[in-house]
Homo-oligomer: A and B are copies of this chain.
Amino acid sequence: MVDAARRAGTAQRRSVFEVFARHLPSGRRYGVVAGTGRLIEELTDFRFGDAELSWLSDNDVVDADTLDWLAGYRFQGDIWGYQEGELYFPGSPILVVEGTFAESVVLETLALSTLNYDSAVASAAARMVSAAGGRPLAEMGSRRATERGAVAAARAAYIAGFDATSNLEAGRTWGIPTMGTAAHSFTLLHDSEEDAFRAQVAALGPGTTLLVDTYDVAAAVDLAVRVAGTSLGAVRIDSGDLPGQASAVRRQLDGLGATATKITVTSDLDEYAIAALRAAPVDSYGVGTSVVTGSGSPTAGMVYKLVAREDSHGEWVSVAKKSTAKLSVGGRKSPLRALDGGVASAEVLHVEQDPDAPTASARSGRPLLVPLVTAGVPDPQYLGVAGTALAREHRAAAVAELPTDAFRLARGEPVIPTVYE
């Protein structure tokens, strides 16, 4: 596309692309924007190096002029977007990229890869957080995500309200609190469960979490308190009927005097299993597969669409695909979260012809676009450890505006309508 547009003289036309989801994943009430901080950080390193250029040349993918252009590629346009951690609804323009057609169109895959995955994880994680009703959640799903995707998943879950991750690289890169756990292999490595528990307590102190379901849970709980004492930090249960197990283990721990020892449960938890454990004496949850795979919706399904561009006279023109099923609304949008007594009531998208015109909605509410990248330079407040913490705070504030129906786990419509004005 870049090659052909360059030859046709259209590659330099100023263009506006929007990222949005046509609908929320089936039955969800709201979505959580994540990946924005990663995207604008990766944008600054988004280059075509010698190895890539040689391959493009050897395989005649683009012509020599376009190769030169790619060699010098630096995005120099502007990007606005929903602040990371913001909520989104069908049509919400969570990212708005303005630049030349050529410099903007090559960002499509980078933008969608980061935003689609991270938002899918964050949107699922947010449901688990509300289902947990204030009990802490740890993300433990690295094994069910790709090597680098696992780090992104830990970050997205944290933004959505998880408290910690077992992914140490996510701790190092994004400042997310980390935690660990012993696997069954650690118990099985030793000649007895007692040897394993003693080894773990010797290394990590009695405040550690002992895994009690390798052989017999009741025997292991007895042993755990015998080895670590009543100051044992926690026990972990990873199989079986979790509500029943948790109640039995709580009674047993209390009977042994370990009244402060906590119970953490893992084992294929998702938002429904977490909700089902609300009445059980569980202190914290470890969630793996379901959070890193978006709990049934592994991508947010966002698209990157041209909505406006210059014509041959330099005038802005709104554009949109016209055929059949996949209708889009052309023109740049100015989005607003309409609020009624502090409670979100609509996602209002004011459609403008002119990208320089001010927001013109008659409704009161919270404008949703913030400048993320100006003339190619990211706003540093959204980057790194500080940006991740800021996104988590922003998510908490945005969730607090939702009507209570947003937290129903049952399938339903988006909790507020999207209105085009």
Contact = CB atoms under 8 A, between A and B. Distances in A.
A305 interface: yes
A8 interface: yes
30 contacts: A1-B183, A4-B199, A4-B200, A4-B203, A17-B185, A42-B147, A51-B172, A52-B168, A55-B168, A56-B168, A59-B178, A61-B168, A61-B178, A61-B180, A101-B189, A109-B142, A110-B147, A112-B143, A145-B299, A146-B149, A149-B149, A184-B321, A185-B304, A185-B305, A213-B324, A215-B321, A216-B323, A239-B325, A289-B301, A294-B298
A164 to B, nearest CB: 13
Contacts of A183: 1, 105, 108
Contact of A186 (B1, B63, B289): B1
Interface in A210-240: 213-217, 238-240
Nearest to A153: B146
Interface stretch (A75-83, A306-314, A387-395, A407-415): A306-314
Interface residues of A, number: 90
Given A59-B178, A299-B289, A319 B188 contact: yes
Contacts of A419: none
Interface in A1-45: 1, 3-5, 7-8, 10, 13, 15, 17, 42
A236 B185 CA distance: 52
A204 interface: yes
Contacts of A117: 145-146, 149
A123 interface: no
B113 A145 contact: yes
Q: Which among A13, A180, A299 has the greatest number of chain B C-beta atoms within 10 A? A: A299
A267 B321 CA distance: 14
Contact of A146 (B61, B113, B185, B304): B113
Contacts of A5: 186, 189, 199
Contacts of A293: 298-299
A118 B60 CA distance: 29
A356 B357 CA distance: 76
Contacts of A145: 113, 117, 299
Q: Which among A1, A148, A305, A326 has the greatest number of chain B C-beta atoms within 10 A? A: A1
